[in-house]
Each structure stands twice: as C-alpha cells, then as structure tokens.
Amino acid sequence: MYLQVKDVKKSYGKDTSYIQVLKGISTGLEQGQMCVIQGTSGSGKSTLLNCIGGLDTMDSGSITVDGTEIFGMKPAQLSDYRRDNLGFIFQFYNLVPNLTVRENIQICQYIAEKPLDIDELLETLGLTEHQNKFPAQLSGGQQQRCAIARALVKNPKLLLCDEPTGALDSKTSRDILVLLEKINEKYGTTMLIVTHNNSIKNMVHKVIIIKDGLVKKEYENEARVPAAELEDL
C-alpha cells in the first residue's frame, strides 16, 4: 500500500486546554488513487492531512509514504520529505503577489529533482495565455489553477488538497475538479482531498469519513461519476 496510516494520535495544548484531535486513525491508500476525506468541522480531517504532509507532528502512531516512515523525522528530514514527495493545494492560494504565474510555478520547479515540463503544465491547466500575469490580475479559478500548477510541477507522488474548491463558485469548482481528474489520469498522481462538499466523493476511488478523531467509515467507490457530471457543487 502506497500510503499507510496506523493508530495515529494527535493532541494540542495541556492541562485545561488539552484536546485530543486524532484518537487512533488507521487507514491507507493505493498508488494512483484519488481519495476524499470527509467529516464535520473539528473532526480531525485537516489535522490528519497535515500529519501526512509533515506540517504537523503526531504524538504517536505510524505514517509511511512509499515505504518511508515519517514519524520521528527531524525538521530537516521532514523538509526533504515534503520537497521530494508532496504537492500541496489549499483553499487559499498562497501565491506570491509580485511574481507572475510562470514565476510562481518556477519557485517549485527549481527545487524539484525531476520537474514536469512547465509549458506542458501551463497548457494542461489552461494558463498559457495568463502566464505573464500577476495573481491580482487573475480570477479565483485562475489563481487556483496556478496553485495547482505550482504543486504539480515538482511531479509529486502524493498531492494533498485541503478544501481546493472551498472558495470557488460551482462552475469554477467543477472546472478545477475536472482538472484534478485529468491530472490523476495523465500523471498517475495519488490524491488525498479534504472537503466539506458532499458531491466530490462521487468522483474518487475511495472515501474516508472521520468523526470525533476516528475513522467512522471508509469504502471503495465502485460507481465513480466523472467530475464533469457532478451535481450540487
């Protein structure tokens, strides 16, 4: 299994402010799968994503990605792990405002060992004609496309998406999901998507539902719906 999560626990604070967010999460994902993590606010889904991404340290448990155990890694090791394996897409695009679209993407291209071709990526994401614009000159959907391109240019094995359509209208959300589906098919990128949107689960290979810091339910999606046909986005 490409991603394995075993009995992961994570808490914050101490004494009266102590709260255990993850209470023993165990799950896994095969290489090339698209997976949705769902749950109410405070259920622990974003915390789990951050632990997998090495942005948060877990209290105990095990997370292995492509055979590499990340629990216990030192900061420098986590930095290398993120650089070599992961791409991140967030609800808020985190683009550098004084850099063009192309320059924002090049930031990650420079640190990658085997980056994708930037011109091919711009074409795939419909950004070729916008590559010399600054973020403030783009629509929300175009900014998210740029953020996706920046994450993908490293040719990551695992793409972590935290509410990637949360700030977008329904039409733009569908466009972004179609792109993610296209990327998964074209590059074989494994994707883990945290979302509140109940429709997105219909397009992915696997669904994980988290409640109160535990996996309440997980299942393989036997009847996937193409992203372009999703309703109620």
Taking only the tens place, the pLDDT of each residue in 21-35 is: 999 999 999 999 999
Q: At what angle do helices 140-152 and 101-111 cross, to 10 degrees?
A: 20
pLDDT at 114 over 90: no
Residue 125 binned pLDDT confidence (cut-offs 50, 70, 90): confident
CA distances from residue 215 to 1, 39, 65, 97, 208 in whole angstroms, order as listed: 18, 9, 19, 39, 7
pTM of the model: 0.89
Q: What is the pLDDT of residues 204-213, one digit of tens each?
A: 999 999 999 9
Any domain includes 121 = no
CATH of residue 199's domain is: 3.40.50.300
> Which residues, other chains included, contact 154 with Cβ-Cβ below 8 Å and sequence gap of 6+?
83, 87, 108, 109, 111, 112, 115, 116
**Residue type for position 115:** P
Q: Which domain holds residue 206?
A: 3-11+20-96+155-229
Any domain includes 200 = yes
Structural domain tally of the chain?
A: 1
